[in-house]
Amino acid sequence: MPVGVPEPVLVSIGDIHCTRSEVITPAGRFPIDSVQWAVSDQTMTTRVTPTWAVIVAIVVALGTCLLGLFFLLVKEDQTQGFVQVTALGPDGSSYTTAIAVQSYAAVQDTFNRVNYARGLSAGY
């Protein structure tokens, strides 16, 4: 890289950013090859009957008796919570961030970003 040109950010995990040579956090910068990563899933997924299914069940049940009650069998998953990511620097200093998630796909995306950062730390 030319002198004075900052390295591009390859991956961002909340407010933790990784370049080819360092991890940038609000608490400071760490050389990427000496950073250890920890990730913790603090989410909860529940199965609920969506509001639209309850409304349709009531409307259809008034006209066709029990047929509308089948709409109450519709379920959807709702995920809420956060994923906690910690970057542990070489001198024992660390930075932890919590990423709020609203779906299982967002949880998987955060885990994939951490795995990519682990690959950068390992030199891949």
Domain residue ranges of the chain, discontinuous segments joined by +: 11-46+77-123
- Give residue 95's pLDDT: 94
Domain with residues 11-46+77-123, CATH architecture: Roll (2.30)
Most confident of 26-30, 36-40, 62-66, 72-76: 36-40
Residue 105: exposed, middle, or buried by beta-carbon count in 10 A (0-12, 13-18, 19+)?
exposed
Residue 77: exposed, middle, or buried by beta-carbon count in 10 A (0-12, 13-18, 19+)?
exposed
- Give residue 69's pLDDT: 82
Mean of pLDDT values over 93-108? 94
* Beta-bridge partner residues of 29: 24
Q: Which 8-state DSSP code applies to residue 34?
A: G
Cβ contact 86:105 at 8 Å: no
Rounded Cα distance between 70 and 72, Å, is 5
pTM of this structure:
0.80
- Give residue 2's pLDDT: 66
